[in-house]
Structure formats: structure tokens, C-alpha cells
A = this chain, B = another copy of it.
Amino acid sequence: MSPAVPPALSLDGATTRYGYLGPEGTFTQMALHAWGAARDAVHHPFGSVDAALGALRSGEIDAAMVPIENSVEGGVSATLDALASGEPLVVVGEVLVPITFVLAARPGMPLADVRAVGTHSHAWAQVRGWMGTHLPHAAYVPTLSTAAAAAGLSEDGSAAYDAAVCAPVAAANHGLEVLAEDIGDMSSAVTRFVLVAKPGTLPERTGADKTTLVLYQRDDHPGGLLELLEQFAVRGINMSRLESRPTKESMGRYCFSIDIEGHVLDERVGEALMGLKRVCAEVRFLGSYPRADGTEVRVSDSTTDESFTDARAWLHSLRGLPG
């Protein structure tokens, strides 16, 4: 499976300055490589999602690629929270990257001699099956990222482990030897990355779009979430992701980070957004953009743009207004 390439590019040319969650050799860099328009541009790695999005907000870069879902690097919460508050940013595209891990070591190290393995805790969780079979006695040493695990081996030899679990590109970047490939327990693991930019660019409608929102409830009454979801249901809109995030004000107060199918220019999405705007304390619009997998949104007869237009013409006639 190769990375899904987005059908439309929102930011083009070699002059666009791209940032990404580094260091070099992470899956995030692979996502940026998969973004066609960015191929000939300069890519700046940043030490954290906050740093990358901060550089975007300050104008240092024009777009940032960051992980948003099911990442092995733990980037999800950081991305969700960074987008949910602060100066507004929008998602202009997404990229799916299949996640494959290798076990890498300094050249000459045999697999049988590996006593300790370094990697990020999330990656460790995904290779536990392989480790149980092939290196049942190896100790686990947590590191700050999978790329950091690879880098540690390439440095001065002082690392507390002899092998690293990392992306293939990280092994290559650091001159390591690959002892085993594709060692993840879930062969279909994939991480979703989003390309973030400042508001002002609205990708065109393709019929296979997503819209990302953050909803803050007006108050925390029983059934509150149900009411928000009904704003989608009554307009036939499907939700493809829902995350609750603490608002940091107090324990038990949440906002909801949501992806829905459809584009803000779709009539049904527009009416749902207006409904949410009326009932929520705040609605943060985080962009409409083409789905990486290109799957078209299925729309029932009663929620097509045409059915909205017909209904509006009918209402105007009832009101004695020109259709």
C-alpha cells in the first residue's frame, strides 16, 4: 500500500515553506513527501506539534504537516489541542501513511545479541507480538520518539539499548542496518496526517470531502452531546471521527473534535453548521478538504443540494417572496 495522494492541492509551488513534526525520518516527513505540491519545496522539521503550528501562526512557514489520528508518536492530542484553541488555523488536506516498523541496529549487530530495544512507547505497543516471538527476553527502553531511538544508536554508543524500533526512513537516515522488516502486529496500521494552513484558503468541493470542527457546549447538561449530534442526524450527515478533549477549565468539561462527511459549501453541511452555531457556546471551523481515500459521500435524496434549493424556493413562495 502506497500513501494515498490527495486529489487536489491547495498550496502549490516551490515557494511555499512547509514545516512538519520532526525529526527527519519520522512518518510525518513521509506524509509530507507524499503531498505532491510539496515535493520541490523546502521542508522544515520542528521539535513538537506546538512548535510547528506556532511557526505557522507567526508566518515563519506557510503550511505544516502534523499527525492527527492513530499516530505512533502520540501526536494526536497535541494536534487536536493546538488546533482547538489559539489563533485560528484550518486543515487544507489530509494524507494517510501506512505505518511499518523495522528493527534496526548498528551495522554488525546480530539479532541474537540484542538485549535491549529502544523506541517510543506507542510503537512498542504495536510490535509486542513480534517481540514476544523473536526477542522474548529483550528489555524495553522508552525514548521520546522512534526517530530519537534510531538517532540514539548512531551517536556515541552510550545508548542503553542495542536496537531500535523505527520507520524504515529513520534507519536509513542514521546509517543503521535493518534486522527485521514490517514487524508491526497490525499489518494495516495507518496514520492520518493533516496539512494545516492559515484561514483564507478553502479547497474546492470534490464530492468526496471532509469537514473538521471543534464544538464547545453551552453548558454541560444531560443529553448535551445528543443534541449536538442531532444537528447532524436531522440533516443526514455522517460523522467519521469524534474525540472529546478536556477544555482545561475543570475536570469533566469537554469540547468535541469532530470530522463530518461533506464540505462547508454543501447545503446540508451549511445548515448543520448554523444549527451548531446557535446551540453551542463556540463552534470552531477547522476546514473542508478532500478525503485522502477519495470515497464519495453518499447523500440521501432528501439532503441533496437540489432538495435544499427546492425547499427554499417553496418556502419563498409561501412567504410571498420571489422564489
Residues of A near any B CB (own CB < 8 A): 47-48, 50, 69-70, 74, 77-78, 81, 96, 121, 125, 142, 144, 186, 188-190, 192, 202, 218, 222-223, 225-226, 229-231, 233-244, 246, 248-252, 254, 264-265, 270-271, 273-275, 277-279, 285, 302-303, 307-308, 310-312, 314-315, 318-320
State whether A242 touches B241 (Cβ < 8 A): no
Contact between chains at A251 and B315 (CB < 8 Å): no
Residue pair A270, B310 in contact (C-beta under 8 Å): no
The answer to whether B251 and A96 touch across the interface, beta carbons within 8 angstroms, is yes
Top 8 A-B residue pairs of the complex, sorted by shortest distance between their CB atoms: A274-B311, A277-B311, A222-B238, A278-B302, A278-B307, A279-B302, A234-B234, A226-B229
| Chain B residues within an 8 Å CB radius of A246 | 69-70
The answer to whether A270 touches B319 (Cβ under 8 A) is yes
Q: Beyond the given A74-B74, A77-B77, A226-B233, could you list 16 further A-B residue pairs with CB under 8 A, ordered by the A residue number?
A: A69-B251, A70-B246, A74-B77, A189-B248, A222-B236, A223-B233, A225-B229, A226-B229, A264-B318, A264-B319, A274-B312, A274-B314, A275-B311, A277-B314, A277-B315, A279-B302
Contacts of A96 in B (CB 8 A): 251
